[in-house]
Amino acid sequence: MVSRTRRRWLIGSALLVAGCLSPTLPLPPPSDPTVSAVSEGLVRLSGTVQPDSEVFALNRNTNQISGEYAAHGSYEFTLAALEGDSISLWYVHATVESPPNDFVVKLPKASP
């Protein structure tokens, strides 16, 4: 009887330890953001990510970074960028960082 109880305790402990050591699933990269012009040299990025995440954008042409905390999953912030600049967009949830979504700024043409 003692042997069976000890065996169950050891199996339970092993499963608990294995569960703690299992790898965390990777986050998906953020989807393509909506990009709009705010003023000359400034664009607004908006979209959605996993709630309670920090969202960042890096302008690879200027090495400027911007971002915000997305409590409910939606974000909207400005970044210094021009048409044709290369941007990396990613987010961090808890301690896990998503892969970046790299894109080139393409602004919609202004209506006459």
Domains of the chain: 26-104 (2.60.40.10)
Half-sphere exposure of 98 (CA within 13 A, CB side): 21
Residue pLDDT, tens place only, 13-60: 666 555 555 566 789 999 999 999 999 999 999 999 999 999 999 999
- The reported pLDDT for the residue numbered 14 is 64
Query: Is the pLDDT reported for residue 93 higher than 70?
Result: yes
pTM: 0.76
Task: Using alpha carbons only, give the angle 35, 40, 46 rounded to the nearest 5 degrees.
Answer: 20
Q: Give the strand order in the sheet containing 42-48.
A: 34-39, 42-48, 74-80
- The reported pLDDT for the residue numbered 25 is 78
- Output the average pLDDT for the chain: 87
